[in-house]
């Protein structure tokens, strides 16, 4: 996390020095005035006797954590060195301080592959303490991807429903167009007898099919934007107005509609005028 003001922790921040802390931007906005410098200010936890426990030595950029909701604004946070201990007299605070020194994860900056790194880390931790174990080694990209598993599952499910809806729309358009061609067989035969060629017949059928598609788009796009507003409140990173996504959906529907309508259109254009005139 980048340090915006002040300094980061140093080896001098240990058990022999006064407790220090880094705070995030949300912390500064919440507890300090806009023209107030937070550096070298003191703060503590909820109890009055703890008001001046920590001295602020730096301000870091806001960061979001999966357990707190990635779709919500960053919370006020402060970070303290693992090497420092606060001697609390309150039993509850003493217990919280003790638990805060358990290491749940280690971030390493290295060029090694995760497989090679895991073997070296296992040997290193075993030398330090045989009781230390490694549950998993992941890259930062894998860790971030893991935080979005639920959102990815919802997006995949929504995409599947979208594909099913597109197939149903294509099948429905094919059925309606085929029925329309069957009803207009005599008309098509008369047009061909009067000189209409195959491309004009296909154009006639496609024009009727795409009129239905256009009506569907005029009704569906406003509904899609409205649904986007509801979804954006539930899913992280979803915008209620997304022109690229709407454009892709419109183009995909147009392509599927073309292939769904071209089959009955080609069949209509291949009918013999004499056979078409005999049909009722």
DSSP code for 75? P
Is 214's pLDDT higher than 70? yes
**Cβ atoms 250, 225 nearer than 8 A:** no
Check residue 62 and give its pLDDT: 92
162-171, 220-229, 264-273, range with greatest mean pLDDT: 162-171
Q: Is 0.75 topped by the overall pTM?
A: no
pLDDT band at 78 (very low <50, low <70, confident <90, very high): very high
pLDDT at position 204 over 60: yes
Q: Is 181 a residue whose pLDDT tops 60? A: yes
* Burial tier of 120 (Cβ tally within 10 Å: 0-12, 13-18, 19+): exposed
Q: Which pLDDT tens digit goes with each residue over 131-151? A: 777 777 888 888 878 777 777
Question: 191 CB contacts (<8 Å, ≥6 apart)?
Answer: 200, 201, 204
Question: Element (H or E) spanning 3, and its range?
Answer: strand 3-6
Query: Which residues 6+ apart lie within 8 Å of 66 measured at CB?
Result: 147
Coil, strand or helix at 17? coil
């Amino acid at each position: 996390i980048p340090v915006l003001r002040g300094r980061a922790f140093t080896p001098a921040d240990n058990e022999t020095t006064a407790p220090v802390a880094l705070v995030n931007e949300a912390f500064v906005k919440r507890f300090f005035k806009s023209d107030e410098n937070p550096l070298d200010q003191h703060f503590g936890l909820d109890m009055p006797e703890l008001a001046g426990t920590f001295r602020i030595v730096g301000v870091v950029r806001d960061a979001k954590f999966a357990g707190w909701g990635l779709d919500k604004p960053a919370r006020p946070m402060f970070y303290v060195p693992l090497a420092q201990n606060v001697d609390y007299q309150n039993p509850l605070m003493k217990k919280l301080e003790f638990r805060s020194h358990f290491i749940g994860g280690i971030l390493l900056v290295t060029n090694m592959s995760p497989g090679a790194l895991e073997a070296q880390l296992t040997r290193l931790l075993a030398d330090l303490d045989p009781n230390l174990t490694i549950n998993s080694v992941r890259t930062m990209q894998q860790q971030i991807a893991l935080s979005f598993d639920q959102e990815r599952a919802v997006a995949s499910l929504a995409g599947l429903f979208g594909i099913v809806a597109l197939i149903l729309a294509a099948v429905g358009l094919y059925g309606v167009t085929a029925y329309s061609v069957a009803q207009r067989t005599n008309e098509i035969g008369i047009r061909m007898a009067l000189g209409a060629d195959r491309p004009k017949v296909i154009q006639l059928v496609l024009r009727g099919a795409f009129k239905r598609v256009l009506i569907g788009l005029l009704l569906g796009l406003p509904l899609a934007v409205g649904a986007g507003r509801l979804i954006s409140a539930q899913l992280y990173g979803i915008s209620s107005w997304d022109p690229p996504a709407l454009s892709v959906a419109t183009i995909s529907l147009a392509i599927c509609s073309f292939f769904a309508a071209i089959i009955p259109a080609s069949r209509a254009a291949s009918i013999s005028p004499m056979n078409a005139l005999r049909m009722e």
